[in-house]
A and B are shown apart, each in its own frame.
Chain A
Amino acid sequence: MAAPLTLLLLVAVTVRAALFRSSLSELISERVEVVSPLTAWKRVIEGLALLDLGVSPYSGDVFHETPLTIYLFHFLVDYAEVTFMVSVKKNVFRKQKFALEADRYPLDCLELIRSPKEMYYIPLKVAMFYLLNPFTILSCVAKSTCGLNNAIIALFILSTIKGNVLLSAIFLSLATYQSIYPLTLCAPALLYLMQRQYIPVNFRRASFWWFIVQYAFMYLGSLFVIICLSFFLLGSWDYLPSVYGFILSVPDLTPNIGLFWYFFAEMFEHFRLFFLCVFQINVFFYTIPLSIKLKEHPVFLIFMQLAVISIFKSYPTVGDISLYMAFLPVWSHLHRFLRNIFLVSCVLLACSALFPVLWHLWIYAGSANSNFYYAITLLFNVAQILLVSDYFYAFLRREHHLTYGLYLKRKDGSEATLVLK
Chain B
Amino acid sequence: MEKGEAKSKKPPRLCCICNERRPVLKRAKTLQQICRECFYEEEIHQAIVKNRLFKSGERVAIGASGGKDSTVLAYVLSELNRRHSYGLDLFLLSIDEGITGYRDDSLETVKRNELQYGLPLQILSYKDLYGWTMDDIVKMIGLKNNCTFCGVFRRQALDRGAALLKVDKLVTGHNADDIAETVLLNILRGDIARLSRCTSITTGEDGPIPRCKPFKYTYEKEIVMYAYFKKLDYFSTECIYSPNAYRGFAREFIKDLERLRPRAILDIIKSGEDFRIATTTKMPEQGTCERCGYISSQKWCKACVLLDGLNRGLPKMGIGRARGGGVNGGDHKKETTVKTLESKQCGSLDF
Tell whether A and B belong to one assembly. Answer: no
